[in-house]
Structure 1
Amino acid sequence: MESYASVTGSGVPLGAQEWPARQVPVAGVDLLVREVPGVAADLPPALFVHGLGGSSLNWTELGLRLSDTVRGIAPDLPGFGRTPLAGAAGIHEQVEVLIELIERECGGPLHLFGNSMGGASSVALAARRPDLVASLTLISPALPHPRVSASALWFTAVATPRLGRVVLERTRRMPFDRRFRASLAMVFGEPRLLPAEVRAAYEAELRRRDGDPWGMQATVEGARSILRSSVALPHRSLWAVAAQVECPVLLVYGGKDRLVDPRIRTKAQRSFRNARSLYIPQSGHVAQMEHAPQVERAFRQLIES
């Protein structure tokens, strides 16, 4: 099925092949940064930015598929993945970390990819530092949506002082298997189609995160940041910021996304100066994991044009 990568010669699906990792000191914390292996040093750089509760592992397959075109790196942002929390964990703080990482590791301009909250941070970065960004690919970006949804209510609950920790504590006390199934259903459009190895890797990462002492605080602060961005005054909103982005933009939305309403894609395409969109009816919130071949093709078309 084309929605998922076929196995490589090693017999392991691309989505389960972890990139090598190293520690990079950025903004007062040792940031875990993964780098696509075996890539020519003269290829243009690319930066892959995960969403709230995600990690660099969310980009494994897409980065490998594009290894003939870009030299990709993907960080675990502070408070997520394997990078400890250092200071606040909101959109503004992520932009500061990413700018420092780009200037240290990549220079610019580079191809910037962002998913969910990482998409919101990427929009803010591209508007603030257009000299660093050659193209912007946004997969289910967390841009403000006027419709009240179940996910919006969840973010509101988690972002509320004291209530957020109660909600997350109750969730953590649930049996892991139940939480795992709920996470699959929330993030993926068709979780039953995930290759067994990719599903196992996703499960292993969720189990590992249970032991991270900073996970709850990072989630609460991230949710608060997303909520604040959704109620900002129009001239300060992420939609106003999006209108300032100068580079070509690719917008990717999934028809089965339970966290970002795909109906917002029309407004998103109008808001950016130079945007094209890819709509994948069967995809959920992480199209780069579920439908990497389609995202890959759309990105190649973006930069070729």
Structure 2
Amino acid sequence: MTDAATVDLHYLEMESEAAPDATPLVVIHGLMGSADNWRSHLKVWQRSRRVIAVDLRNHGRSPHSDDMRYATMAQDVIALLDSLSITQAHVLGHSMGGKVAISLARLAPQRVVTLTIGDIAPVVYQHGHDDIFAALKRVREGRPKNRREADELLAEHVDSRSTRLFLATNLARTEESELGLRIGLDEIQRGYDDIIDLPAGEAPYEGPTLVLRGAQSHYVTDDMLPALREMMPQARVVTLKNAGHWLHAEQPEAFQQAVEAFLEHHER
């Protein structure tokens, strides 16, 4: 896969309330996200299975590293599965985390029972996060004392309040009683070309695959579907109405139900 060193990922784990023998579900967040963003979903899914949500390298509470290649990030997740004695899992990834999930499935298909992808295609995207990087750097430079000040700094580069609220989940109180960034912003920016690149792996993933896309998102367009199905031949594409790229936050119940029905159908 890769000879790069893995990092020990931080993760959230919730044991199943009713089905301890069911196949676990591993959840992988997107760019600038973290496992914390998925807590409400995990509480729903834990009713039927054990769930684990990871913080990818340079995100959440996980270590920082300059290597943002998908093969390396997939190996991080595999190393975590090994440490938790999970031989097989359902794997769900959103956005960048979707590319990590695809990479994991292609590199270690024997570990993946099903693959669920949230609003991302296995294509090379254009640069599109300059405003996000600028906003987060402004917060780092501005050293806000509270979240109101942080929001004002973010607003210098990002108009959308919902986007600013999402970015603010990356803030943490420093020893100087200021709000600082807990993410590896510089490492992420240096690795951005790898982030917008193709998932890792050579062979297609032949297992059951669900792709959920937002009707108002441009991340999985119809002209990307041939490339998607070449890499994931069994993919079933479902479009969620009234949802954009953050479809799991904008249509949480529809997202949760679609995932749960898919997993139940393929439970071993």
Q: TM-score range by the shorter chain?
A: 0.7 to 0.9
Counterpart of 2:11 in structure 1 is 33
Counterpart of 2:72 in structure 1 is 93
1:77 to 56, 59, 77: 56
Work out whether 1:169 is the aligned partner of 2:168. no
Equivalent pairs counted in the alignment come to 245
Work out whether 1:267 is the aligned partner of 2:236. no
Work out whether 1:215 is the aligned partner of 2:194. no
Q: Which runs of 5+ in 2 are unaligned?
A: 143-148, 174-178
2:44 to 45, 65, 86: 65
How far apart are 1:92 and its partner, in Å? 2.1
Pair 90,245 (structure 1): closer, same or farther in 2 beyond 3 Å = same
Pair 208,297 (structure 1): closer, same or farther in 2 beyond 3 Å = same
Counterpart of 2:99 in structure 1 is 120
Work out whether 1:153 is the aligned partner of 2:127. yes
How far apart are 1:261 and its partner, in Å? 4.7
Distance in structure 2 (CA, Å) of the matches to 1:295 and 1:135: 16
CA contact (8 A) 2:205 2:233 kept: yes
Counterpart of 1:292 in structure 2 is 252
Q: Which deviates more, 289-298 or 28-37?
A: 28-37
Q: Deviations 1:217-256 (Å, cap 9, x if unpaired)?
A: 23214422123x2xxxxxxx54985x61011111011123
CA RMSD of superposed structures (Å): 3.3
Q: Deviations 1:107-157 (Å, cap 9, x if unpaired)?
A: 2221000011110111111011111000000001253157xxxxx2335x6
Residue 94 of structure 2 aligns with an amino acid whose one-letter code is N
Q: Deviations 1:180-228 (Å, cap 9, x if unpaired)?
A: 66465559xxxxxxxxxxx6xx57623328623652223214422123x
CA contact (8 A) 1:90 1:224 kept: no
Distance in structure 2 (CA, Å) of the matches to 1:83 and 1:136: 23
CA contact (8 A) 1:28 1:86 kept: no
Question: Secondary structure of the residue that 1:296 maps to in structure 2?
Answer: helix
State the identity %. Answer: 25
Question: Secondary structure of the residue that 1:95 maps to in structure 2?
Answer: helix
More helix by share: 1
CA contact (8 A) 2:215 2:243 kept: yes
Counterpart of 1:244 in structure 2 is 204
Residue 176 of structure 1 aligns with an amino acid whose one-letter code is A
Counterpart of 2:194 in structure 1 is 225
How far apart are 1:278 and its partner, in Å? 1.7
Distance in structure 2 (CA, Å) of the matches to 1:166 and 1:290: 25
Residue 220 of structure 1 aligns with an amino acid whose one-letter code is Q
Pair 238,165 (structure 1): closer, same or farther in 2 beyond 3 Å = closer
Residue 132 of structure 1 aligns with an amino acid whose one-letter code is R
Q: Deviations 1:166-186 (Å, cap 9, x if unpaired)?
A: 786357558632426646555
Residue 193 of structure 2 aligns with an amino acid whose one-letter code is R
Pair 221,137 (structure 1): closer, same or farther in 2 beyond 3 Å = farther
How far apart are 1:289 and its partner, in Å? 2.5
Pair 169,74 (structure 1): closer, same or farther in 2 beyond 3 Å = same
Residue 92 of structure 1 aligns with an amino acid whose one-letter code is A
CA contact (8 A) 1:255 1:262 kept: no
Question: Secondary structure of the residue that 2:171 maps to in structure 1?
Answer: helix
How far apart are 1:71 and its partner, in Å? 0.7
CA contact (8 A) 2:106 2:201 kept: no
